[in-house]
Amino acid sequence: MRFSKKALAWALISVFAFSMVLTGCGSNNNNNKTSTTDTKETPSQPANKPANETPTASEPAKLAPVELNWYLPAAPQKDTKLVEQALNDYLKDKINATVHLNFVDWGSWKDKFPILLAAGSNVDIMFTAGWSQFPQSVAKGYFADITDMLPKYAPKTVENLPKVLFEGARVAGKIYAIPTSKEIAHTNGFGYSTELAKKYGLEEQLKKFQTTIPTLEDLEPILAAVKAQDSNVSPLGGVASMDFAMTFLDFDPVGDQNIPGKLYKNKDTIVVNEYETPEYKAILNTMHKYYQAGYVRKDATIVKDATPDRKGKKVFLVGGTTKPLANEEIGASYGYELEQFSITTPFITSNDTQGSMNAVVASSKNPERALMFLELVNTDPIVNNILNYGVEGTHYVKTDVDNVIDFAPGLTGQNSGYFPNAFWEFGNQFLNHFMKGQNTKKWDLFKAYNESGVPSKILGFNFDAEPVKTEIAAVANVKDELWPSIATGTVDSEVFLPKLIARMKQAGLDKIIAEKQKQIDAWLLAK
């Protein structure tokens, strides 16, 4: 597939796809039928209507003016005030609210958002996610329980969001955030340069992986061919943080992926030590074999960032997630054509459903109006696209193709005054315009992808790490020391994996697994 130069700008966000970071994708519909599944969630109905109840958005004339502050992680934008003005001009006759967009750069987000929440600052809406302390924030009382408010103040969002998203976002049966409608399932796999595949005569061999799921061993003829023909290209790449065993086995993470203790995919609810499973050991043995054969770079244990090598086509098989069109997006950002194949089937975990959400902060003085605004973010194309692309004519222009836009003349994603490039943060992606050069079949492909995903047996479970936080920190220290050399195949896993396991157990690994099992059992009993 070919990519226009314009596609390079918006595609930068999708670098996360092949870097194991959850990014957002979605579908476009100018009506409000944005569901990606036929099964809808209906949160419990609100209690009896109080006498002083806030009017709904259908009664804008009765709404007193309010100001709302929304905090999100993204690069601060020069034209934020200009975009706020356009947004608020539109919102006045809708919900009579003035919304302030507060972008916090990624380098500061991790440290800043907990301070804002703990201080009870002037925050009404906060971006959150499973990887951004969502369950912990709920436990601390930072987010409002919106279960009963949703049907009244965000009814279309309730109607349109897939049931699985609301289920995965629940904490103790309650809803504390509105998930982003985007890709729900995940698959793992590899991308590869079509130019290199043709150069090495591997096109036909790789094509069969489009219809069959390969094992790590199935890849050996491909890796051997690359090694034999080009000493300047690493067949399988390799960085210190990689874990091809987890990539192929796709265990249910039971919370943070980095905390040991997993469930077998689609099997049962028994927490296992993944490092002691025969499947994990087998893949690590194969990785050592591949390292010795030269399929993995010799300095893999010290490589922190593989992006330069990937962009320079110094790596053949690029590991990552393989959502629909991830190859086109990542290829556009790398500047060359990629094809992809999956090594796992679509799977939906709580981590997937909690990958991008927006919560109403418990200290907000206007929680009802915040929900009215989030209703528009998730159902109104005008609101949604102002947030994503800015002001028409200033930041973007329409093209001759329906619902396809381009940067305004002279602008790119790099020099525009407003291009946060955070589509997956701004609510329902199925409302997004297409950028020129983007594949307009994307949303249909995502609909089918989401519907094919199999939900985890513990979807909606949230692991509370607090009881074993000391053990988790100690185990992490052991893993940081020993794991890179084992995962990359640099050392013989038959010798070093038992040492890793023994030291992890000394640090409290068994206690972590027992705590995970205890919490899962209690959660299942309470369902």
Helices 381-389 and 367-379 sit at what angle, rounded to 10 degrees?
90
- In angstroms, the CA 72 to CA 103 distance is 5
Contact at 8 Å (CB) between 175 and 150? Answer: yes
Q: Enumerate helices (H) and strands (E) in the chain, giving the number of each.
A: 21, 15
What sign for the dihedral angle of Cα 159, 160, 165, 170? negative
The DSSP letter of residue 394 is T
| Nearest alpha carbon to residue 461 among 387, 397, 516 | 516
Inter-CA distances, 276 with 180, 232, 383, 500, 504, Å: 36, 36, 50, 11, 12
The DSSP letter of residue 294 is T
Cα 313–319–323 angle (5° rounding)?
110
| Nearest alpha carbon to residue 376 among 428, 335, 421 | 428
Q: Which residues contact 263 (CB under 8 A, 6 or more apart)?
A: 251, 252, 254, 269, 270, 271, 272, 456, 457, 458
Contact at 8 Å (CB) between 374 and 99? Answer: no
Longest alpha-carbon distance in the chain: 78
Per-residue pLDDT at 58: 59
* pTM higher than 0.85: no
Length of the chain, please?
A: 527
**CATH 3.40.190.10 residue spans of the chain:** 7-33+58-183+352-455
Q: At 508, list the tokens.
A: 């409290």
Strand pairing category for 338-342 and 188-193: antiparallel
Amino acid letter for position 238 = G
Per-residue pLDDT at 306: 80
Per-residue pLDDT at 117: 95
For 203, other C-beta atoms within 10 Å of its C-beta total 12
Q: Is 10 helix (H, G, I), strand (E, B) or coil?
A: helix
- Which region holds residue 279: left if phi is over 0, alpha if psi is between -120 and 50, else beta? alpha
- CATH for 7-33+58-183+352-455 (3.30.230.10, 3.30.565.10, 3.40.190.10, 3.30.1010.10): 3.40.190.10
pLDDT along the chain (527 residues), means of 10: 39 39 34 36 38 56 91 96 98 97 94 93 94 92 96 95 87 93 92 96 95 96 97 85 88 92 96 97 96 93 84 92 90 89 95 94 97 98 97 97 95 93 92 92 92 93 93 96 93 97 98 98 92
| Nearest alpha carbon to residue 280 among 342, 216, 330 | 216
